[in-house]
Structures are given as C-alpha cells and as structure tokens.
Amino acid sequence: HEPLFAICGRPNVGKSTLFNKLTETRRSIVGDEPGITRDRIYGEVRWMGRAARIVDTGGMVPDDEALIPSEIHRQARVALDEADVIVMVVDGRTELASPDYDLAKFLLRGGKPVMLAVNKIDTQQMTAAAENYRRLGFKTIFPISSEHSLGIGDLLDAVFEAL
C-alpha cells in the first residue's frame, strides 16, 4: 500500500495550512459532530513522480484538548502506529512549551523517522530563529512557511527519502 506520513503538533502551529498546501486542497468538512475537527485529516501528496498518503493527527484531537498530556500521547500514538514517517510542526514565532517537549520526546522514542518543521518562518531573515528549536532533540529541522510556500520542497525531499 502507499506509504503514509503524519503531521503532529499542538494547535495553531499551522498543521492544517501545511496539510492543505501539500495536498493542494481547500479545507473541506468531514463531519459536523460538535467538538470534532472539521478539517480533513487524510489526503494524498504527490512529489517528484511519487505519491504518499498524509494524515493530520492534530485534527483527530479537539483543539481545546490538544494540550492535555493524554491527548498529546493519543495523537503521537496514532502517528507512530500508522505512519512510516512523522513530521512534527512547531510555530517558529512562539516559545517552546512543555507540550512541545512531551510530544517530541514521545515521537523521538518511537523508532520511526521523525523530522521537525519549524513553521511561520516567512522570511529569509527568520531562518536563524529556527535554530532555537534544535533543543527539542531532532536531528533534522526544516524552517518552512506553509503560507508562503517556503522550504516545502526540502521538507518533501526528506520525507520521501525516508518513506
């Protein structure tokens, strides 16, 4: 079957924006149960003649619960169980907080290829700021701007390389 990669991260870091950019879809509604995300969480990414499925695991957890440790672990477990490669996304404009460290630690212990995307790095001048996020412990970090389509190609190269 087609390989799968997962996007993880706390609310508001830009997971849905990245998902939509990678799948070239508009946000589309999957269900209207209260408290359940309305974002689409599965999609398909094509890159350099290859294809992979993608899942936004953040979309499985309601935003107001996504910082609860058990929910962080639930999100990470889904990623580790289902995915071949995992991309954790952080917001390059906000301070790291304990949920980021928890999620990173859990993912890094999972034995699967994981990489870090530092999102909202909208200008070249901001790339130095992304270095801060190395303290999460990832070997490979990618400064990206999902909104302005910066760094996305390098990230996809690495993801498909690892799949």
111: left (phi over 0), alpha (psi -120 to 50) or beta: left
Does position 16 interact with Mg ion (CB under 5 A)? The reply is yes
Chain residues in the site for ligand GDP (CB under 6 A): 9, 11-17, 58, 119-120, 122, 145-147
**112 labelled as ligand-binding?**
no
The residue with tokens 């530092």 is 118
For ligand GDP, the closer CB: 9 or 113:
9
**10 labelled as ligand-binding?**
yes
**61 labelled as ligand-binding?**
no
The SS3 assignment for 28 reads: coil
Least separation in angstroms between residue 54's CB and Mg ion is 13
Q: Give CA separation, 146 vs 22, 121, 131, 150, 156, in Å.
A: 9, 9, 18, 7, 12
> How far is it, in rounded angstroms, from Cα 83 to Cα 89?
15
Residue 154 touches which of ligand GDP, Mg ion, none (CB < 5 to 8 A by kind)? none
Residue 98 touches which of Mg ion, ligand GDP, none (CB < 5 to 8 A by kind)? none
> How far is it, in rounded angstroms, from Cα 31 to Cα 25?
17
Q: Give CA separation, 105 vs 51, 98, 112, in Å.
A: 29, 10, 12
- Which amino acid type is present at position 123? T
**59 labelled as ligand-binding?**
yes
**12 labelled as ligand-binding?**
yes
Binding characters for Mg ion, 20-59, by CB under 5 A (x = yes): -------------------x--------------------
Q: Which of 155, 66, 58 is nearest to 113 (CA)?
A: 155
Residue 143 touches which of Mg ion, ligand GDP, none (CB < 5 to 8 A by kind)? none
User: Binding site, residues?
Assistant: 9-16, 56-60, 119-122
User: Binding site for GTP, residues?
Assistant: 9-16, 56-60, 119-122
Binding site for Mg ion (CB under 5 A): 15-16, 39
